[in-house]
Amino acid sequence: MSKAPIEIEVSPKGEKLQRSLRARHLSMIAIGGAIGTGLFIASGASISSAGPGGALVAYVAIGIMVYFLMTSLGEMATFMPVAGSFETYASKFVDPAVGFSLGWIYWYNWAITIPLEMVAGGLVMKYWFPAIPSFLWSVIFLALLVALNVLSARGYGEAEYWFSIVKVVTIIAFLIVGVAMIFGIMNGPAIGFGNFMLDGSPFHGGFLAIMGIFMIAGFSFQGTELVGIAAGESDNPGKNVPKAIRQVFWRILLFYVFSILVIGLIIPYTDPNLLQASVENIAVSPFTLVFERAGMAFAAAVMNAVILISILSVGNSAMYASTRMLWALAKDGKAPRLFAKVNSRGVPIFALVVTTIIGFSAFLSSSFGDGTVYVWLLNASGMAGFIAWLGIAISHYRFRKAYIAQGRDLNQLVYKAKWYPFGPIFAFVLCLIVILGQNYSAFMGENVDWKGVIVSYIGLPIFLVLWLGYKIVKKTKVVPLQECDLNYKE
């Protein structure tokens, strides 16, 4: 059966992105966005808090949620491959006010992530060059990321491809070494499964401990949705996006779940080092500890380099995502039209410049004084990724409903998400639990920790103000299913 024709509307001159991302770029963007310090550093704290069994349960549950979110995003992104992604989908299939608020809070989230990664990169460099100020390294890294993104979408994609290759190779080497240690193939007797069942159970801290790991796992997986934004610049989204989506679940299973299993088998959850890992103390990263126990004296230096690459990878993705989202907002009339302009290489240059300025300003606020302003800026972005995921689930649910309501044939979809409507409903419910449970412990004492509540939940009222403000000013309404715009206009 032939596919339904796609309606193409040519964009105004100077506002059209170029489709220069290949299949290999999208595949690595899909998984590379989820591999970073959350795995290399924070995984140790997860095991320490909930035990290896509790950490596995939390990561598997969030991994399944992310898989359903990616299939939802994949169905919409292959049908309508736009760089605005879920901002555009929410505007067309839910309510323009929801799209407006999703787009702006997502832009802010990634724009504020840029200085966070630059600060972290400067701290990592102190391992090799303790005498050189971290500030200098941070500025150098920022300049590098701007250079990569100003070249073209291909520049971002190529850098992300090689960054991700390094991370993937490191994890595969870690898994091979870890399994060899567990079964006694290298360096001494077999470690076996004793550490996993320490104290007679793989679980520690009960259900609430697992709930706490939900948050950590959720933050660790944020970035997988970037493939939806990158679809707008893919050379063949109908073929490349589904391929990237299909690989996500299995790679998450391999990289995260198997890595946590190996760490839990080799290092007892009671080991105090698991709680001490950070970008400033990479020597106690669970990956470093495992490599060192395998007799690799250079483990700390190697892992330090991998952590640096992970930081640059996240910074690169942050620059790309925030720039494209601002471009999409401007193109839809939800931001100044200037930001919709692109240069001869298809790069939204003004959106890139203002994002860089905002990021650098936030970086300066973290470098001077006590950093209080920056801490609050960072807190305000904490929920943005989860809110975006919530928006994806709602948008896909209504997209499919609208598609059927308008009499279209589901068999004509290039990619069809499995298990609808269970997938988006499951993702919505679990994502809502994660959002509301951001800091559940603040409510559990005799007195409510209001400072903790404000710090953890400040992103939620910001989103609501954006949503209700736009809704009131523009008088928008939820789009009836029969009126949802299912025409793709490029």
Q: What is the pLDDT of residues 283-334, one digit of tens each?
A: 678 888 888 888 887 888 888 888 888 888 888 888 888 888 898 899 889 9
Please compute, for residue 77, the number of CA atoms within 13 A of its CA located in the half-sphere on the CB side.
33
3-class SS at 21? strand
pLDDT at position 148 is 84
Tell me the C-alpha distance between 257 and 486, whole Å. 38
Which of 43-47, 69-73, 211-215, 222-226: highest mean pLDDT?
69-73
Can you give the pTM of this predicted structure?
0.87
Round the average pLDDT of the chain to a whole number and report it: 83
Q: What are phi and psi of 234, to 5 degrees?
A: -80, 145
Query: Running DSSP on this structure, what letter comes out for residue 143?
Result: H
In 126-278, where does DSSP find H-type helix? 134-151, 153-182, 206-221, 226-230, 237-252, 258-266
End-to-end CA distance of the chain: 24
In this structure, what token pair is assigned to residue 220?
């660790």
Please compute, for residue 134, the number of CA atoms within 13 A of its CA located in the half-sphere on the CB side.
20
pLDDT at position 99 is 94
% of the chain exceeding 70 in pLDDT: 89
Tell me the C-alpha distance between 211 and 69, whole Å. 20
pLDDT at position 41 is 80
List domains and CATH numbers for the chain.
Answer: 23-483 (1.20.1740.10)
Grade residue 489 by pLDDT with cuts at 50, 70 and 90.
Answer: low
pLDDT at position 368 is 67
Please compute, for residue 379, the number of CA atoms within 13 A of its CA located in the half-sphere on the CB side.
17
Helix H or strand E segment including 172: helix 153-182
Average pLDDT over residues 59-71: 89
The torsion region of residue 51 among left (phi > 0), alpha (psi -120 to 50) and beta comes to left
pLDDT per residue as tens digits for the range 402-434: 999 999 999 999 899 989 999 999 999 999 988
Q: Is 353 exposed, middle or buried (0-12, 13-18, 19+ CB in 10 A)?
A: middle
Single-letter amino acid code for the residue at 291:
F
pLDDT at position 9 is 35
In this structure, what token pair is assigned to residue 16?
């059209």
